[in-house]
Amino acid sequence: MNILRSLITIWIVLFWTPLQAQTFDNSHLIEDATNGDIQAQYTLAHLYLKGKGGIVFDVEEAVRLLEEAADGGHKEAAFDLAFLYLNGMKLAKDRVKALHWLTRSAEMGQVDAQYFLGLAYKKSDRVQAAAWLKMAADGGHLEAAGELDQICAEEPQACRWSAN
């Protein structure tokens, strides 16, 4: 038993390096984000949101970077902004901003955003709901296809698609 304990102790001393002891060099990531790389902005924003990778937790900086990435066409950044504002977990809830970013993400082709917009419009505007759900279903979102089938069965006129 003492030998096993000794071996474990030696292994820990020689090979175990706690995460806290690691240093992170994010200089290239920060430089790329500063130069407008939307993927770098998105990645760096998530490091700020989590306070990980040698980056100090900072919601305002994370939101700024997500907005820059979304404005540059990063559909996941817009989607993440929508849920940050909707849930209010790391910043104040704001349904108007949540809907804005969810719509932007859906317009960029993010199928989960299209699905959630379809659900959001389901009670108030069945035509709009069906349109968003159809986009999501066409993008392979299975739950959207089920919701769309339900709307079309209950209200067929909401599902009359115009030929483009």
In this prediction, residue 19 has a pLDDT band, given cuts at 50, 70 and 90, of very low
Other CB atoms within a 10 A radius of the CB of residue 57 amount to 13
At which of 89, 108, 127 does a domain end? 108
Residue 133 and residue 67 share a domain: no
Q: How confident is the model at residue 163 (pLDDT cuts 50, 70, 90)?
A: very low
Write out the two tokens for 72. 């540059």
Whether 52 and 100 share a structural domain: yes
Please check whether residues 99 and 122 belong to one and the same domain: no
Which residues touch 49 (CB under 8 Å, ≥6 apart)?
A: 57, 59, 62, 90
Token pair for 129: 């709901």
Mean pLDDT, the chain, as a whole number?
88
Number of structural domains found in the chain: 2
3-state helix, strand, coil in the chain (%, to 5): 70, 0, 30
Q: What's the pLDDT at 25?
A: 82
* Containing structural domain, residue 156: 111-164
